[in-house]
Structure 1
Amino acid sequence: MPSAPTQFAQITSRVRLVPGSEHTQGQNLPEFLLFALPIAIYEQRNASPQKVERIRTSAATMIGSHGDDLQFRGKKAGATAVALVQGLALLARSPGGVTFAGVHACLEDHADCPQQER
């Protein structure tokens, strides 16, 4: 992605709440994602295809195995939250980005991109 942001401030501006969105996840999840997603995107900005694949596989396995821990505050909730953020950060690279729990993250301008006054 030649036009993808590389500076942390640029990345942070591309992660935003979706105005008027409703979600059924935990009350604090959007705030957590607004904090953690830009960090994960920044950390992954130069990831090789092999590293992307390792992150994808690890995140999918953790979320698939322990997603209920995240939802119900089980023993692996912290590790699963990290896996969720890592997976969402990867999805932010895709065309159109990703929207989850009322938070949208993308790395390039696209049609229907939720805009929030900044």
Structure 2
Amino acid sequence: MTHIDIGIDREHRLSTAEGLKQLLADSYTLYLQTHNFHWNVEGPNFRELHLMFEEHYTELATAVDEIAERIRTLDVPAPGTFKEFAKLSVIEEVEGVPSATEMVDILTHNHEQVVKTARKVLKLA
């Protein structure tokens, strides 16, 4: 790390970056899961869910980029591998292809998890 002076002491920058790393991992895992469900959703609500999942993963792609860039502004490398994300994230991977209703339930729960992580990070910042 190089020396930066943005008015935040080193320890505070590092603790904030650690929280943001988890938020990045949770958000990226949710992004990947949402994209997976977009590809694999079936059933009578296919069109509506397919489009909604696309809208969600598009928004998540923007969010993960912003979170990673914020980590970099704190002069800390952003995690960028599946291995790192799996270690950091509280979002559980889903085996197989759930039903459309299960997909919505899973994504709702995992969005709630991301909100909890974001609230935790907000307290650090």
With structure 2 as the length reference, what TM-score do the two structures score?
0.29
With structure 1 as the length reference, what TM-score do the two structures score?
0.30
Larger radius of gyration: 2
- Relative to its length, the structure with more strand (as a share) is 1
